Amino acid sequence: MTGAADAGPDPLPAPSTDAAFLEEALSAADAAAFVAVGDRFDDDLRYLTRFSGPDRDYAFVRAAGESVLCAPTLFAEQAGREFDGTVRTESQSDPAGVRAAAALSASGVDGGTVLVPRRIPHDAAVHLERAGYDLESTAAVADARRTKTEGELDCLRRVQRAAVRGMARAEEILAAAEPDGDELVWEGGPLSTERLRRRVNAEFAAYGVRDAGNTVVGAGPTAADLHYTGTAVLRPGETVLLDLSPRGPHGYYGDLSRTYVVDSDGGWERRAYVAVEAALAAALDEIEPGARANDVHREAAAELTAHGFDPNAEEGAAGFTHGTGHGVGVSLHEAPSLREAVELEEGMAFTVEPGVYDPEQGGVRLEELVAVTSEGYEILHEYPRSFAPTAE
């Protein structure tokens, strides 16, 4: 890093994407080319191109063994830095689908089957069809993204380290907060979910990652709301649930949850915490290559049941209201889901995050981001679990 006072290391470069999986998909479908169209918010395109891109549509074309990016002229330098392939900037005022068709033609592909992601913008699909191509949707990109390369795992480890920094900051603040009547007070004022959220996000920024709008901080009843974004003041004895999912400069997300209680009187929240801790341990213990993803969920649910919580509660009711985990990569939610009966493979990276909620009491969730290894699993960055917040 370039100065002693700075929190985080320099950004990692984005990993490269090997296009071999695309060539295999083309062969299997007897297709001439693959086309994807989208903007900077399209994570398949981010994975395919590593281009951090504009907020308007651009196109990626794989044809004749080559990768082509049709980028806006103003982004030519950035595309050249980030993309491993040919950058085309001509005809930039044409719609991306029209530019993709021109790139196909320039690659010698003048008709035949073209594979596209199912979510390709409808106008781009229509432009390609009008240019004489038959479109067939493919899940090849989502499939390739299910397992991570070592370079991708490094990006996940790095951003999860940032998530841990944010959590440590939150725990430090909670450990220093003092009950004052029915409120928690910190640094001279009531401590709210919004104050805590801002401090965590500032820690992320100093570390060189983005909060990506995903910093969920709920307290008491709002901890049972999975996507709370309000400004409630924290109270002694209630659950404070933090779910942090920063995004690194390479596009990979972290994901980490902890739940703390300041000044607990040991009621519902203590029982819930013990149950969730046990569920997390049981779920983690299930992870190894060849195990089934939904068995991980089943182990977590069984442990919660054994502790007296409903493992199949509806959203808004009391119990376990969601799945045990989801894949994480350049999307925060991707394959595999721990609801699927798929076999776990080395290199899969996903969250394990059992939780129990009660709209009248609060919510408890503990979450680790793990990767499947040849031996079992790796927690991508360790951070202690603790019911009462403790200062370092």
Q: Which is nearer to a second copy, 3 or 290 (CB)?
A: 3
Q: Which residues pair with 219 in a beta bridge?
A: 240
Residues 230-269 that bind a second copy (CB under 8 A): 231, 233, 247, 249
List CB contacts of 194: < 8 A, sequence separation 6 or more.
217, 230, 231
Of the candidate residues 12, 205, 281, 342, the single one contacting a second copy (CB under 8 A): 205
Residues 75-94 that bind a second copy (CB under 8 A): 75-78
Q: Which is nearer to a second copy, 43 or 152 (CB)?
A: 43
Residues 131-170 that bind a second copy (CB under 8 A): 135, 137
Q: Is the peptide bond before 336 cis (omega within 30 degrees of 0)?
A: yes
What's the rounded Cα separation, in Å, for the pair 355 and 112?
A: 50
Q: Name the minimum Å distance from CB 65 to a second copy.
A: 26
What's the rounded Cα separation, in Å, for the pair 116 and 298?
A: 35
What's the rounded Cα separation, in Å, for the pair 309 and 291?
A: 25
Determine, following the binding rule CB under 8 A, whether residue 41 of this chain makes contact with a second copy. yes
Q: Which is nearer to a second copy, 4 or 20 (CB)?
A: 4
Of the candidate residues 25, 87, 120, 272, the single one contacting a second copy (CB under 8 A): 120
Determine, following the binding rule CB under 8 A, whether residue 208 of this chain makes contact with a second copy. yes
Give the β-pairing of 112-116 and 33-38. parallel
Q: Which stretch binds a second copy (CB under 8 A): 61-69, 150-158, 210-218, 302-310?
A: 210-218
CB atoms < 10 A from the CB of 130, how many?
11
What's the rounded Cα separation, in Å, for the pair 309 and 320?
A: 7
Residues 42-61 that bind a second copy (CB under 8 A): 52, 54-57
Determine, following the binding rule CB under 8 A, whether residue 130 of this chain makes contact with a second copy. no
List CB contacts of 4: < 8 A, sequence separation 6 or more.
none
Q: Which is nearer to a second copy, 3 or 181 (CB)?
A: 3
Residues 359-378 that bind a second copy (CB under 8 A): none
Q: Name the minimum Å distance from CB 289 to a second copy.
A: 27
What's the rounded Cα separation, in Å, for the pair 362 and 102?
A: 56
Of the candidate residues 204, 252, 273, 387, the single one contacting a second copy (CB under 8 A): 204
In this structure, the chain runs to a length of: 392
Q: Which is nearer to a second copy, 52 or 86 (CB)?
A: 52
Rg over CA atoms, the chain: 23
Are residues 379 and 353 in contact, defined by beta-carbon separation less than 8 angstroms?
no
Q: Name the minimum Å distance from CB 58 to a second copy.
A: 13
Of the candidate residues 101, 116, 159, 296, the single one contacting a second copy (CB under 8 A): 116
Residues 293-322 that bind a second copy (CB under 8 A): 314-316, 321-322
Nearest to 122 by CA among 144, 161, 96: 96
What's the rounded Cα separation, in Å, for the pair 221 and 239?
A: 8
Nearest to 143 by CA among 113, 118, 112: 118
List CB contacts of 348: < 8 A, sequence separation 6 or more.
146, 147, 148, 327, 336, 371, 372
Q: Which is nearer to a second copy, 42 or 286 (CB)?
A: 42
Q: Which is nearer to a second copy, 207 or 268 (CB)?
A: 207
Of the candidate residues 47, 207, 260, 268, the single one contacting a second copy (CB under 8 A): 207
For a second copy (CB under 8 A), the number of binding residues is: 71
Determine, following the binding rule CB under 8 A, whether residue 357 of this chain makes contact with a second copy. no
Q: Which is nearer to a second copy, 292 or 322 (CB)?
A: 322
Of the candidate residues 50, 145, 195, 235, the single one contacting a second copy (CB under 8 A): 195
